[in-house]
Structure 1
Amino acid sequence: MIVPGLGCASWMYLRLAHLLAQKYTVWLYDPPGQGLSQGRWNDAVSVEQLTDHLALWLQTQQISRPLLLGHSLGGEVVIELAVRYPQFTGPLIAVAPTGLPENPSLFRQVWRLIRDIPRERLGFWPLCLSAYIRAGIWRCYQLARAIEHQSALPDLALIPHPVLLLGGARDPVVHVSALRQISWRWPHVQVRELAGAPHGMTDADAAEVAAQVWQWVDSLKRTGEAE
């Protein structure tokens, strides 16, 4: 199941979803007010609210302990979900997750995203623009403020499932070194770096992300940690 980033929409992850669907059943999820989901202007504008909604959605859809793949803010959400609602989660993959202790100010977040734009695939730009227009400036601002004051990834120690963190070597938003710094103490957490990948690696490097997912899940199956 793919959980989108800040202001993102499910249609931004179709390249990855189509690849993963070669081996798995794939669910695409849109939080309230993002993508194809309806929502009021003040729905799900914090990490806690996003996590609560995702837990309720999984329960309503009767999806039992899926492998969750969260991108950017979605990575932070799936980690918090595993801590607060472990009964709904299986193994986790967080791609360029926010929630790091090094979280920058809102201004620096925006500046890092601007630096990332030229590194993304040209065909990805209109998908991003339509998603952000759909989410709206206020929702994106509130979520960015939530990231600024949130530090969820140190909760990795509390997660009872294997965790894979994927970082991009060319990602100016989330640095791989920061992922390694907060994860090296926990044997159930792996960090893998994708050479040349920008922040939107789920699109620009969808094939490599899918290959990492397949390889990691196969290793969990061999050790009996995944069905």
Structure 2
Amino acid sequence: MPTRTPSRTALVRRRVAVGPHAVDVRGTFDPARPPIVLVHGIGVSGEYFLRLADELAAEHDVYALDLPGYGTTPKPERPLDVPELGEVVARVIGELGLVAPVVVGHSMGCQVVVDTVRTHPGLCSGYVLLGPTVDPDAHSVLAQSWRLLRDTLREPPGTNAVILRNYARMGPVRYLRTTRHMLADRIEDDVRGCRVPGLVVRGARDPIAPARWARRLARLAPDAGLLEIPGAAHAVQHTRPQELAAACAPFLASLAGRRPGSGTDSPCA
């Protein structure tokens, strides 16, 4: 029987089999509403999306994933790279029977989302990239570590506690091996192949995704807007969920109106 995760929206937790892997999903499982899939970044899990999930669930069918090797899911023998994780997300969407979802990524999750959208045209209605990595101007372990340290000093203690708890669960060796995959992936090239509407979002105080990088990524995408959340650092979905949901609402509403059965054509039909 599914168990319930403590939340205002009483998210249901289910484990989904995806080939040899498993993905733990916290979701509303309400097919009457337009679906949104939340994809976490390196080392963490769907846990740090739960505050945003609460806000989005007022209007949407929301699913926060724990990808293979993250959060509560079993660890594969080796860390999966970005294309492999992108394929996992696509297969989870299929297993859940979601029609034209919006996929939302944070940090390295943005790279996974872009890979999903690019390699599975017609699967998703749109995408949102929160604090996307990797800025080419900081394309090394040392540069990314320095930016992460600066961001840690800007996040509130409760947010850092969630992140560090998940990092410890993943373990330092697996984290460093995954970092190599993150740096090897080129989101700035892949986003050119995303043919559905997108939205790039950053916190105004985010040192990991600086303004010039967010602007550049939005320009490279065929159809993407840009938003900035005042006062927020990198973990904007955890620290400013209400502001973030409100800022994204017009974009999400425009996509919901174009889904199959809504009276207009879906952009990914």
2:58 counterpart SS class: coil
User: What does residue 161 of structure 1 align with?
Assistant: 196
Alignment match, 1:38? 74
2:144 match: 109
Are the equivalent residues in 2 in contact too, given 1:70–1:78 (CA < 8 A)? yes
The Cα RMSD (Å) is 2.0
**Alpha-carbon distance in 2 for matches of 1:24, 1:3:** 16
1:187–1:57 Cα change, 3 Å:
closer
Aligned residues: 226
1:69 aligns with 2:99: no
Q: Structure 1 residue 16 and structure 2 residue 61: aligned?
A: no
Q: Partners of 1:206 and 1:20 in 2: how far apart? A: 9
1:29 counterpart (62, 65, 77): 65
1:129 paired to 2:180: no
Deviation per CA, 1:57-78: give whole Å up to 9, x if none: 2222222221111001111111
CA deviation digits over 1:77-115, x for unaligned, max 9? 111111111232221001011144334210111111011
**2:62 counterpart letter in structure 1:** V
Q: Tell me, in whole angstroms, the C-alpha distance in 2 between the residues paired with 1:186 and 1:75.
A: 13
What letter corresponds to residue 107 of structure 2 in structure 1? S
User: Could you say what secondary structure the match of 2:66 adopts?
Assistant: coil
Q: 1:86 to 1:100 in 2, by over 3 A?
A: farther
Which structure has greater strand proportion?
A: 2
**Counterparts in 2 of 1:212-223, with a 5 A limit?**
212-220=247-255
Q: How far apart, in 2, do the equivalents of 1:149 and 1:49 lie?
A: 13
Counterpart Cα distance in 2 of 1:93 and 1:117: 23
- The offset of 1:189, in angstroms, is 0.8
Identity %: 28
Partner Cα separation in structure 2 for residue 103 and residue 130 of structure 1: 25
CA distance in structure 1 between the partners assigned to 2:139 and 2:265 by the alignment: 35
Distance 1:221 1:33, change over 3 A: closer
Which entry has the higher C-alpha Rg, 1 or 2? 2
Whole-Å separation in 1 of the counterparts to 2:139 and 2:242: 30
Instruction: Choose which of 102, 105, 118 in structure 2 pairs with 1:83.
Output: 118
Matched-pair contact (CA < 8 Å) for 1:162–1:188: yes
Confirm or deny that 1:96 pairs with 2:131. yes
Select between 144-153 and 181-190 the one with higher mean Cα deviation: 181-190
**CA contact 1:201–1:209 (8 Å) conserved in 2:** yes
Classify the secondary structure of the residue corresponding to 2:237.
helix
CA contact (8 A) 1:217 1:226 kept: no
Could you list the runs of 5+ residues in structure 1 that have no partner in the other structure? Answer: none
1:172 alignment partner, one of 207, 232, 245:
207
**5+ long unaligned stretches in structure 2:** 1-36, 259-263
Answer 1 or 2: higher relative contact order, Cα 8 Å, separation at least 6.
1
* CA deviation vs aligned residue, 1:151-206 (integer Å, no higher than 9, x gap): 11333232121000001211111112112123336561101111221011111111
Query: Partners of 1:23 and 1:212 in 2: how far apart?
Result: 14
What is the deviation of 1:225? 7.1
Higher helix share: 1
Structure 1 range deviating more: 22-31 or 130-139: 130-139
Question: So what's the TM-score if we normalise by structure 2?
Answer: 0.78
Alpha-carbon deviations, 1:38-69, whole Å to 9, x = none? 1224142x111211221222222222221111
